[in-house]
Amino acid sequence: MSLFSAAIVRINSLSRYLFLLCWFILPNFSNAQPNILLIFSDDLNTRIGPYMDVNKHTPNLDRLASEGVMFTRAYCQYPLCGPSRASIMSGLYPASNGVLVNDDKPGSYKKINPALKDHPSMAGFFREQGYFTARVSKIFHMGVPGGIERGEPGGDDPTSWDYAFNVMGPETLSPGKLELLSPKSLHYGGNFARMILPDSLRFYQTDYIAANQAIAILESRAKKPAEGATNKKKIKPDAPFFLAVGFVRPHVPLISTESCFAHYPDEESVLPPVVVSDDVPEQALRRQNEKIWGMNELQKKKTISSYMASVRFMDQQVGRLLNTIDQLDLRKNTIVIFLSDHGYNLGEHDCWSKTSLWEGTVRVPLIISVPGTEDNYRGEFQSIVELIDLYPTLVDLCGYSKEAPDILQGQSLADVIKNGEQADKKTDAFTVTDRGESGTLVFGDYRYTRWGAEVGEENEELYNHISDPEEHKNLVNDASAKNDLETMRKRFDAAKEKSTKSLTQ
């Protein structure tokens, strides 16, 4: 054999080796990697069908829950849109990624914390793996209703997406009477207001438009050019997709249709009992009615019925997406996730809205439905999980565990989906507010909350969720809970330290 032919053999061997290497290493996009449909709702607490006993309230979310795992103790990391969403998408606690307020300009954590400029968001990670990634409406922060009325991208991370679509919805400028429900608060976006629209106008509402665009993307991704034909316009034609769709209801203003409102007569709304004991720190009660909104009883009831009608409208849009992936035969290869950015109070503790640290403000709906084997677990998972767990979960489920960024702070839930168990079960969930100054921790049967950086005079709360699920009896000064208080203080300090880990790349 001449030197030349020996070289050819070596090159051929090398090519074969490289080919085999590529075969094993590179994902086979057309078959192996599942698509991801990530659906956000905004300001939605657990007032959806699977979590509460209201018949046919959210049939589409009920259906999704029946096809997957419903997490009954899922907690956000910050009960406010921007910080929570940046946390979910970065897979990092707010104190680590630096997003501790709402920011209406693009950049998110990469702008706030330059050390993270190369850390891909959850969507960006899949984009790096070759996925086609798309955003429809609010995924990172977007002001509602103002940002939507202007059609702006808000605090988006543009590097996450191959395609992004901002809905320009009419919101408060919709053709109808906007009824102010909170006389002390006139700022739309922070106040309570509602609009009941004729059903014929539903097509022009923000979430309906978002679903339209998402459906169009799904159809585009599902359709193949005719055999032998080429289509140079399609981006990554054979890639799986990561499609994130952000619905803005039930965020205020509470706009919905007559047929949705018809299910929730105002007078039938049930207000939670107002129970506020004297030893609750003042900071916990900043969202009380008379301090901010000044609603009378009827206005409170109208707020609740309007919230429910908004949830129903949002659920209908979820249904349109689920129907589309069924019709396009995408369901068998598409992971569907539904979640909210944080919870929401509707009168518990006389508190309304978000940013508080009550159970109702920090607990969120989370449903993950993974197609594939019939052996996959379907049902409730009742242990504690955090929304930062979603990033490593999707990475795992799609076979990219080895490529996962080292700095992710969540814990994969992939084995919960596979068999309903978690080998290394998470025991604590940590949430902050007030730019990270104050925080709360759930562990076991207890919630512990601290207002301010250090333990001080009357700035703590301790609740036993078994004997007091509504968090009405603060046990901080209860001698019988002394040991539990010490345990929770220590766990809180440890969780806080972990969540503020210095991250450098």
Query: Where do contacts with Ca ion occur on this chain (CB under 5 A)?
Result: 42-43, 81, 341
**Spatial separation of the C-alpha atoms in residues 191 and 480, rounded to whole Å:** 41
Residue 221 beta carbon to Ca ion: minimum distance, rounded to whole angstroms? 28
What is the SS3 assignment for 209-252? HHHHHHHHHHHHHHCCCCCCCCCCCCCCCCCCEEEEEECCCCCC
Minimal distance, residue 80 CB to Ca ion, in Å:
7
DSSP 3-state assignment of 165?
strand
Compute the distance between CA of residue 327 and CA of residue 302 in angstroms, rounded to an integer.
37
C-alpha radius of gyration, the chain, whole number: 24
Give the nearer residue to Ca ion in terms of CB position, either 85 or 496.
85
Tokens 């709304």 -> residue = 269
In this chain, which residue has its C-beta nearest to Ca ion? 81
Of the pair 49, 79, the CB lying nearest Ca ion is at: 79
Specify the residue, 45 or 334, whose C-beta has the smaller distance to Ca ion. Answer: 45
CB nearer to Ca ion: pick between 224 and 435: 435
Q: Are 210 and 40 in contact (CB under 8 A)?
A: no
Cβ at position 342, least distance to Ca ion in Å: 6
Q: Which is nearer to Ca ion, 311 or 330 (CB)?
A: 311
Nearer to Ca ion, 139 or 295 (CB): 139
> At its nearest, how many Å lie between Ca ion and the CB of residue 365?
13
Helices (H) and strands (E) in the chain, counts: 15, 17
Quote the least distance from Cβ 78 to Ca ion, whole Å: 10
| Preceding omega of 253 cis (within 30 degrees of 0) | yes
Question: Which residue lies nearer to Ca ion by CB, 247 or 446?
Answer: 247
Residue 42 or residue 389: which is nearer to Ca ion going by CB? 42
Q: Please tell me the distance from the alpha carbon of residue 416 to that of residue 422, in angstroms, as a whole number.
A: 5
- 217 or 357: whose CB is closer to Ca ion? 357
Would you state the torsion angle of the CA atoms of residues 160, 36, 130, 165, taken in this order, to the nearest 10 degrees? -40
CB of 192 to Ca ion, least distance (A): 15
Q: What is the smallest separation between the CB atom of 429 and Ca ion, expressed in angstroms?
A: 18
Closest contact distance (angstroms) between CB of 293 and Ca ion is 18
Which residues are paired to 442 by β-bridges?
Answer: 429, 447
Question: From the CB of residue 200, how many other CB atoms can be counted at a distance below 10 Å?
Answer: 9
Kindly list the distances between the CA atom of residue 244 and the CA atoms of 133, 135, 339, in Å, as whole numbers in the listed order: 8, 5, 11
According to DSSP, the β-strands at 345-346 and 334-340 are unpaired
Min. distance of Cβ 247 from Ca ion in angstroms?
11
* Torsion angle of C-alpha atoms 248, 134, 151, 76, degrees rounded to 10: 30
In whole angstroms, how close is the CB of 453 to Ca ion at the nearest point? 25
Residue 392 zone, left/alpha/beta (φ > 0; ψ -120 to 50; rest):
alpha
Q: What is the smallest separation between the CB atom of 10 and Ca ion, expressed in angstroms?
A: 60
Q: How far apart are CA 505 and CA 497, in angstroms?
A: 19
Report d(CA 40, CA 338) in Å as an integer.
Answer: 6
- In the complex with Ca ion, the residue whose CB is nearer, 44 or 284, is 44
Choose between 58 and 324: whose C-beta lies nearer to Ca ion. 58
313 neighbors 256 (Cβ within 8 angstroms): yes
